[in-house]
Every structure is written in structure tokens, then in C-alpha cells.
Amino acid sequence: MNHLLLLLPLLIPLYAAILCLFFWRYVKVQQYIAVLAQAGLLVSTFLLLLEVNTNGIATTQIGNWPAPFGITLAADLFSCLMVLTGSIVGMAIHLFSIKGLDRGRQTFGYYPILLLLQLGIGGVCLTGDLFNMFVWFELLLICCFVLIALGGTKPQLEGAIKYVTINLLASGFLLTGIGLVYGITGTLNLAELGLMARAPMTHPSMVTLAGMFFLVAFGTKAAIFPLFFWLPASYHTPPIAISSFIAGLLTKVGMYAMIRLFTLVFIQDKGLMLPLFTVLAGLTMVIGVLGAASQNDFRKILSFHIVSQIGYMLMGLAISTPLALAGSIYFIMHNVLVKTNLFLISGVVAHRHGTYALKKLGSVYLQHPFLSLLFFISAFSLAGIPPFSGFWGKFMLAKAGFEADYFGLVLTSLAVSLLTIFSMTKIWNEVFWKRKPETDPLLEVMTEADLRVNRLLHLPVVFLVVFILFIGVYAEPTVALAQRAAEQLLNSEMYINAVLKR
């Protein structure tokens, strides 16, 4: 039962995607299959979280080969929280896509690819093998390539080519790093690598070198400071349903891989890594938020904020105390939900008004007070105003930073929070508050059917806001979970013993 529960987050999207392919011409059937599969995924990941929470780390060996030889799947609290958050967001995106994505794209295999993307995310989070992680990442990336290019409009193709090129390079660096690790240790099982990293080594500098390859590879995928330029160039190009899913989840999966590897495997050279992470985290925050301040497009502002928020997640890894890592984990969950939601809200606004440019929008508060409330909650969560979710993440990170004497980094993060509020205020003023500039009155006329669709599009946004409010207002259980997940990450013996059955 335990093994099946661990496999379900992979099996459900895989079989659902295959099933969808059988109904290529029947988009309606695909929609039902996809939404049912998402609901199943949500339930199974929640059960997995309960199981791991009560009985400790769950592991299984594919093909029943004993641990260092077979491919391991392992779920600790951190991976469970990631797949659970992923499936919540996936559910919202599926609901949004049914009405919010044009028919043409839906007929060209949108649902199977979205499900395979879910499979890739689940795979990265649950695998216990380094090479397997690479394979899942490739699966996830090729789905993203297709999703970004799906439809083939000019901006999409342009964004896709930048995205594809930089990610191919990053994957190459990842493969080189994996080769290096195998050459030094002769194993790719994460638990055994962790065990070796804690024993005296013959080539400590080589391990650091391999760690640098992983830093560059995952740093590119997670969009940390010098490697983020592809993100604001490509994330806003596809239709909003696609870009909100990719924007919400993918960089965080890269961050997950980084936190996993740099707490389990590459731990020897803390004297080099931690200051490096500190500098990178600070620069990522500042550059991201400054980039956002200069933009005039709803989606582009949000894209730059992704970069800025990645800095906070890296900050937890840089401080590397239990509280800081708990802050990072909580922050990742919060950010996946909030960022996806803000993108979806921009989609709802654009569905009604036909543009994302701040200059052309306006009066949304007058026309849709409810949507404005939803945006208000999400934006304040992102900026970190209590009692919303972002506050708790930033509070934990700042407290951990003060305890560990990272004053510069904490002050930077607080200043960046202020600038985040500035950006959110800018969106609020321009989109919701100011009077809408006079435009062609023909564009304003919407049929009754369109208005009904627009009302339906609110549904996934409300769905996500419920979760955002839950982890914000009633933060205690989530914070406690994040803290236990951080303890599991820092006491790697638990993970190693669970996988190697010692």
C-alpha cells in the first residue's frame, strides 16, 4: 500500500496522458480525463503527505533491485509538500484551461502534455537517484518547450527559442556534473552519495567542482542572478494558462533540486558555498525587483518578481539553519500558489479587457470589485503583509538570518519587500484604480456568453485563494510541517537510512 501510494503521483498523470492520446479528436473527453486525473493526483499526494507525516520517509525500489543498484523513489516531507503544492496548482490550471485557453491549442494535445509535465514534476520531487532526476528534468523541459511553442505565434516562437537554447545548455552542464559525480564516487544513488559525502574523501576539490556544475545547471533552471535572463524573455509569451503553470512551478522545481543536493550531497565546502549563496541570493532579489519596477506589462512585472522571489528561497539555503530552511520550504509553497494565482488574475483581467499593458487597462475595481479583492489578497501575500502567507515565510527567513548574523542579507530582503509593495501598488493603481483610458468602444462590447465565461474563470482563482488564505491565516500546521521537513533535510541520516534500509 505504501509503495503504491508513492507511485500514484507518477502513475496517475502518466496513464491519464496516455488515455488522453486515445481521444485525440475529442477534446471534451480529454478535459474530463485530465480534470479527473488532477483530482486523483490531489487526493493521492495528500494521502502521501499524511502517510509520510505519520510513518516517516517512504521509499520503494523500482524493479525490486536493492537500494544502491536499482532506481530509488523516496518521499520525505519536503518532496511531499512539493508534489502536493504542484497538484493544487495543476488542478487550478486545468479548471482555468477549459474555458480560458483557445480551442485551437486545446485540440493539439494540450492536456496530455500538461499531464506529462505534472509527471515530470512529480518525478523530480520523488526520485532518489541523480541520473533519474536528470531524465525527469528532461521530460519536464520538453513538455515546457512544446507548451511554450504551442500555437506558434511570433512572440511564442521567439520566447521558445531562447528558452530551448538556454535550457539545452543547462541540461548539458547537469549531465557533465552527473558524469563527474559518477567518476569520483562510482554511484548515483542520492542516499549513498550522501553517505560518501559524510565520510573522508580522496578528492574533496573534485566534489566541489561537480557541485559548481550543479549550481550552474540548477541555477539556470531556477533563474538565480546571473542566469535568469531567459525567464522574463519567454514566460510572458504563451497564453496565460500555460505561462501561469510554467511560471508558478518550474523555477521552484529547480530550487527543490538545488536544496536537495546542497543539503544532502555537496556539503563539504560550506566555507565557499554559503558566502556564494548569500551574495547570489541578495543580488537575485535586488536585480529581480528592480527589473520589475521598470516594466509596463502585467505579466512581465510578475515574471521579474519570480526572479526576485527565487532570491528568498536561496536565502534559506545560504543561511542553512533549520529555521531558515523551513522558511525556504514554506516560501516555496506560498510562492507557487501566489504566483500562479497572480498570473491567473492577469488572465481574467485580460480576458475581459483584451490587453496586458498597464497603460490601456483601468477601472477594474469599479467593474469587478470581487476580482480586485482576490488580487488584493494575492498581492499582499506576495509582498509579505501580515497575516497573509508571504509574511510567515519572510518572518522565518529574517528571524533565522538575525540569529545567524546575516544582517546584510536580511536588510536586503526587507528592502526588497518594500520594492515588491511598490510594484504591486503600481499594478493596483494602473489596472484597478485609475480611470480606464478611452478606447475603441467596439472592443468594450461583450456578449452574455463571454461574460459567463469570464465569471467561470474566477473559479480557479478562488480555489487558489482559499489555499493561500489557509496557509497564511491558519499558518501553524503548515509552518510546523515545513519545520519538520527542514529537520529531515538537515538530519540526512534519516533519509540515508530509510533508502539504504540500514
Partner 1 sequence: MELILPFLIGILFAASLYLILHRHFFKLILGLIIFGLANNLFVFVIGRLTRGGSAIIPQEDSVATEPFADPVPQALLLTAIVIGFGIQAFAIVLIKRVYQAFGTNDLDDMNSTDQIEEQEK
Chosen residue from 104, 155, 354, 477 binding partner 1 by CB under 8 A: 155
Residue selected from 29, 32, 138, 290 as contacting partner 1 according to rule CB under 8 A: 138
Cis peptide before 387 (omega within 30 of 0): yes
Asked if 169 is part of the footprint of partner 1 (rule: CB under 8 A), the reply reads yes
Question: For partner 1, which is the closer residue by CB, 47 or 135?
Answer: 135
- Applying CB under 8 A, does 157 fall inside the site for partner 1? yes
Half-sphere exposure of 12 (CA within 13 A, CB side): 24
Q: Where are the alpha helices (DSSP H) in 23-129?
A: 27-55, 77-100, 103-106, 110-126
> Which CB sits closer to partner 1, 99 or 162?
162
For residues 310 and 136, what is the distance between their CA atoms, to the nearest angstrom?
Answer: 21
Nearer to partner 1, 40 or 109 (CB): 109
What gap in Å lies between CA 409 and CA 120, rounded to an integer? 33
Helices H, strands E: what count in the chain? 22, 2
Smallest gap from Cβ 134 to partner 1, in A, equals 8
Residue carrying the nine cell digits 501553524: 476
Query: How many chain residues interact with partner 1 (CB under 8 A)?
Result: 46
* Site of grid cell 538545488: 258
Q: Smallest distance from the beta carbon of 50 to partner 1, in angstroms?
A: 34
Asked if 294 is part of the footprint of partner 1 (rule: CB under 8 A), the reply reads: yes
Applying CB under 8 A, does 346 fall inside the site for partner 1? no
Q: Which of 3, 4, 43, 165 binds partner 1 (CB under 8 A)?
A: 165
Judge whether 247 and 375 are in contact, CB under 8 Å. Answer: no
- Going from the C-alpha of 115 to that of each of 7, 86, 132, 143, 145, the distances in angstroms are 15, 12, 19, 9, 14
CA distance linking residue 88 with residue 145, whole number of Å:
22
Candidates 185, 243, 278, 295: give the one binding partner 1 (CB under 8 A): 295
Residue 159 in contact with partner 1, rule: CB under 8 A = yes
Q: What part of residues 98-137 is at the interface with partner 1 (CB under 8 A)?
A: 131, 134-135
208 binds partner 1 (CB under 8 A): no
Task: Name the minimum Å distance from CB 5 to partner 1.
Answer: 27
Q: Of the candidates 88, 146, 287, 475, which one interacts with partner 1 according to CB under 8 A?
A: 146
CA distances from 136 to 116, 126, 133, 270 (A): 10, 10, 5, 28
Restricting to residues 366-425, name those near partner 1 by CB under 8 A: none
Which one of 37, 48, 140, 149 is in contact with partner 1 (CB under 8 A)?
149
Largest CA distance in the chain: 74
Q: Is 74 helix (H, G, I), strand (E, B) or coil?
A: strand
Candidate residues 297, 365, 404, 470; the one interacting with partner 1 per rule CB under 8 A: 297
CB atoms within 10 A of CB 22: 12
Q: Which is nearer to partner 1, 104 or 186 (CB)?
A: 186
d(CA 170, CA 158): 19
33-41, 227-235, 412-420, 428-436 -> range binding partner 1 (CB under 8 A): 227-235
Q: Which helix (H) or strand (E) holds 71?
A: strand 71-75
Task: List residues binding partner 1 (CB under 8 A).
Answer: 131, 134-135, 138, 141-142, 145-146, 149, 152, 154-155, 157-162, 164-165, 168-169, 171-172, 175-176, 178-180, 182-183, 186, 188, 232-234, 236-237, 294-297, 300, 357, 359-360
